[in-house]
Amino acid sequence: MPQLDISTYISQLFWLAITFSALYVLVKGVILPRIGQTLENRHRRIAEDQEMAERLQRQAREIMEQTEALLAETRAKAQALVREEREKVSAEIEAMRKELEAALAAKIARAESELQTAKQAALKELEGTVGELAAEIAERVAGQRPSAKVLQAVASRLNEEG
């Protein structure tokens, strides 16, 4: 094996030093600056992204607060509208109820009046019918027609009881 030959050690060390120096210069002069620049770009981009994320987070928080305030205001307005409408509807219902009660009271009064009139008419008709019936019964039982004075007395007696 040629690497183990002692006579070639000096030339191997020479080429090792040249190769190591060339690689060192290449790594230090070209590769490391590029890696450093890439890392620096990456750190800068990460910092910018973090700043943007924080800014967007602040904006989102502000928008959320505005939305919550607007939502609370809208809820308050909606509750006020509902309360107003409820009061308005209650007032309308109360007015309609009063109108209905008045109409029913008028109908009841009219019906009571008609009932009283019908009752009076029925009583008068009944008086005449009872008088005639009493006269006819008395005529059949007694064999003669009672006088008008007797019929009037019977009618007045019925009026007192009825």
Tens of pLDDT along 35-64? 999 999 999 999 999 999 999 999 999 999
Mean residue pLDDT of the chain comes to 88
CA–CA separation, 148 and 41 (whole Å) = 137
Name the pTM for this structure.
0.43
Q: Where are the domains of the chain?
A: 2-161
Residue 11: C-alpha distances to residues 50, 67, 126 (Å): 55, 80, 159
Give me the mean pLDDT over the 79-89 stretch: 96
Give the Å distances, CA to CA, from 93 to 54, 61, 102, 104.
57, 47, 14, 16
**Residues 91-113 pLDDT 10s:** 999 999 999 999 999 999 999 99
